[in-house]
């Protein structure tokens, strides 16, 4: 960047010096006409000097362009890296409170806009200021009176620029906000395109997009118009200033106070002076747009980070006992999701968490992984408060199989190895065989090198879930979380998944969240939740014998389909 600034200074200096030499060359020619002799040697020297100046000015202009591109792209590389790093440190609530399209727009569109603006601003703004100062100095040297006339338009130009800047900033902020909302709609349409088509809502989706597009167009038009009005006004002021300088300068030549070459050089300097003023006015558009985008990006970078990231360096204890001690937590703006939660999970136990939708089951998992922090109470691992353990170390103890089996773009082998970077081929195959992945992968044309896209296509939902189980198997972490892992598959695939999960749970502390109570009948401890509280806990048999809340849930779920219940339980 320093090199780009130095090259810009050299370019501006050469461009400012050249008109003075041209003016001197003009005086040599004019004097030759009136005196009958021309100093040929001096004329050649002056014109050659001007030619050399313009050649070197072009070279320095090319150098500053190349260095500017490198410096700005380096700056944007760092900014994108900072945003990506920040996204990993933000709490889950940040994403739940905002549309993904808006967050994506901040990380892509706004940074791209800053990059484009910086490419122009870094050189043009510096160059304009240098040309302004250099040409002003030369004008004062040639004729202070004409320089005063040229400066008369500056206060008015400044006032225009300031007034327009105040108005255009809000318009540009609105423009980029609407861009984020439009991206959110597009992202939603792409994600839910099958549902949109299934319900015949293409017209409605198109109307929503059209409304958002119109709002963006209006906001962008106002922003561009409010900022774009500056440059025409600056050009008008420059032209009026040019007329005044030309008239007064001609009178000065007639009066013998200036030479023709002097007035010629001054007029060139006045154009060099007014041109940067107009350019600065024109750059207002870029400045305001860049400022609006920068405000959005830095609002993301300044967002409050996940408190969990402030965990200390406490080592993870060998004793894997997990204890909830009177834990209460509520999401912002909502009543508590869990209230006075207390239970103990011994090492190697399978703890099942059941209850109606909204009972607080998934919140327990979020608290375990420190995606959210308790409002009161505490969670301990081996007697150590998890708040004192860094999230990397803590989450390194957990293997997770979620309800939504998300797979990344890449091969099946890469997706299994995602849980353990650097895993051996033998380890990957062993995990695949233990999770019943090997039997269907072998039938695929590409085998383990089959490339998955769009979250796991072309595999079925059940096959994707088995791969996530293989991923957790390979990771080999001591604590396992299974969140509704069988909720979206057929009965036959459910049997395979449950058998794979039974192998996966062996020797590990496991937390199983399930709506289908048949999947938790062999759990060591069942926590029955209702409205954020544990209303019952015990084994399957003891809870059925109590004939209370759990028994009613179980009987209501399975009494109508005994044949299916028997088949699934046999699969255990």
Q: Which residues contact 190 (CB under 8 A, 6 or more apart)?
A: none
- Paired sense of beta strands 479-483 and 509-513, if any: parallel
Q: How far apart are CA 36 and CA 29, in angstroms?
A: 10
What sections of 229-334 are H helices per DSSP?
230-254, 260-301
pTM: 0.62
CA angle 409, 412, 414 (to 5 degrees): 70
Q: How far apart are CA 483 and CA 512, in angstroms?
A: 6
Strand pairing partners for 525?
Answer: 351
The H or E element containing residue 446 is none
Biggest distance spanned by C-alpha atoms of the chain: 126
Q: How far apart are CA 488 and CA 433, in angstroms?
A: 22
What DSSP string describes 37-68?
---HHHHHHHHHHHHHHHHHHHHHHHHHHHHH
Residue in 9, 120, 114, 111 with CA at minimum distance from that of residue 60: 9
Residue in 538, 476, 487, 219 with CA at minimum distance from that of residue 352: 538
Residue 442 backbone dihedrals phi, psi, to 5 degrees: -65, -25
Domains of the chain and any CATH numbers: 2-301 (1.20.1560.10), 309-397+481-493+506-572 (3.40.50.300), 406-476 (3.40.50.300)
Residue in 70, 165, 173, 82 with CA at minimum distance from that of residue 119: 70
The H or E element containing residue 129 is helix 109-142
pLDDT per residue of the chain (572 residues) written in tens, 0 to 9 = 888 888 888 888 888 777 777 777 777 776 666 555 557 777 788 888 888 988 998 999 899 888 988 888 888 899 999 988 888 878 777 777 777 778 888 888 888 888 888 887 777 777 777 777 887 887 788 778 888 877 777 777 767 666 766 677 677 778 878 887 888 778 777 777 766 776 677 788 888 888 888 988 888 888 777 767 766 777 777 777 777 777 887 887 777 777 777 777 777 777 777 677 666 666 776 777 788 889 889 998 998 876 555 556 677 776 778 999 999 998 877 888 899 999 998 888 888 898 888 888 888 888 888 888 888 999 988 888 888 888 878 888 888 887 777 788 888 899 888 878 888 899 889 888 888 888 888 888 888 898 888 777 788 888 888 888 888 888 888 888 888 766 555 666 667 777 777 777 777 788 888 777 777 888 889 999 988 898 989 888 898 888 888 888 888 776 644 444 444 444 33
Residue in 475, 478, 516 with CA at minimum distance from that of residue 497: 516
Q: How far apart are CA 455 and CA 404, in angstroms?
A: 10
Assess contact for 497 and 324: CB atoms under 8 A: no
64: tokens are 């500053």
List, in sequence order, every beta strand (DSSP E) within 184-321.
none
């Amino acid at each position: 960047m320093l090199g780009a600034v130095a090259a810009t200074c050299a370019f501006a200096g050469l461009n400012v010096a050249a008109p003075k030499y041209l003016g001197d060359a003009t005086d040599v020619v004019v004097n030759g006409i009136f005196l009958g002799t021309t100093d040929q040697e001096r004329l050649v020297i002056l014109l050659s000097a001007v030619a050399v100046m313009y050649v070197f000015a072009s070279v320095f202009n090319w150098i500053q362009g190349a260095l500017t591109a490198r410096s700005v792209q380096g700056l944007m590389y760092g900014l994108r890296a900072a945003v990506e790093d920040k996204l990993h440190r933000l709490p889950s609530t940040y994403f739940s409170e905002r549309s993904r399209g808006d967050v994506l727009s901040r990380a892509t569109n706004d940074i791209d806009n800053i990059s484009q603006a910086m490419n122009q601003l870094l050189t043009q703004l510096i160059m304009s200021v240098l040309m302004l100062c250099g040409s002003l100095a030369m004008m004062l040297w040639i004729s202070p009176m004409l320089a005063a006339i040229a400066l008369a338009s500056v206060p008015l130009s400044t006032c225009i620029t300031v007034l327009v800047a105040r108005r255009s900033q809000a318009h540009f902020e609105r423009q980029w906000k609407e861009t984020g909302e439009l991206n959110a709609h597009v992202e939603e349409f792409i994600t839910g395109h099958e549902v949109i088509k299934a319900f015949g809502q293409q017209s409605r989706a198109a109307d929503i997009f059209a409304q958002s597009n119109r709002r963006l167009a209006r906001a962008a038009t106002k922003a561009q118009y409010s900022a774009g009005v500056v440059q025409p006004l600056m050009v008008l002021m420059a032209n009026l200033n040019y007329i005044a300088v030309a008239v007064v300068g001609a009178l000065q030549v007639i009066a013998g106070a200036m030479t023709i070459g002097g007035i010629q050089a001054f007029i060139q300097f006045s154009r060099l002076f007014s041109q940067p003023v107009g350019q600065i006015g024109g750059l207002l558009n870029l400045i305001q747009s860049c400022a609006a985008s920068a405000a959005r990006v830095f609002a993301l970078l300044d967002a409050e980070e996940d408190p969990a990231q402030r965990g200390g360096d406490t080592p993870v204890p060998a004793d894997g006992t997990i204890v909830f001690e009177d834990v209460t937590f509520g999401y912002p703006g909502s009543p508590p999701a869990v209230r006075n939660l207390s239970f103990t999970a011994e090492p190697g136990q399978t703890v099942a968490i059941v209850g109606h939708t909204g009972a607080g089951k998934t919140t327990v998992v979020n608290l375990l992984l420190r995606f959210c922090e308790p409002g009161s109470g505490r969670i301990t691992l081996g007697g150590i408060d998890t708040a004192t353990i860094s999230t990397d170390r803590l989450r390194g103890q957990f293997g997770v199989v979620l309800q939504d089996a998300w797979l990344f773009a890449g091969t099946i082998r890469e997706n299994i190895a995602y849980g353990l970077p650097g895993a051996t081929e033998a380890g990957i195959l062993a995990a695949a065989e233990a999770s019943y992945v090997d039997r269907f992968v072998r039938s695929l044309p590409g085998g383990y090198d089959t490339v998955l896209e769009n979250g796991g296509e072309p595999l079925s939902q059940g096959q994707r879930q088995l791969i996530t189980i293989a991923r957790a198997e390979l990771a080999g972490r001591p604590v396992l979380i299974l969140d509704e892992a069988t909720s979206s598959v057929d009965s036959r695939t459910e049997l395979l998944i449950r058998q794979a999960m039974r192998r996966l749970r062996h020797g590990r502390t496991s937390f199983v969240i399930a709506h289908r109570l048949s999947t938790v009948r062999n759990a060591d401890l069942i926590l029955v939740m209702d409205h954020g509280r544990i209303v019952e806990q015990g084994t399957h048999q003891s809870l059925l014998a109590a004939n209370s809340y759990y028994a009613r849930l179980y009987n209501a779920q399975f009494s109508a389909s005994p044949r299916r219940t028997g088949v699934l339980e046999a699969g255990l």
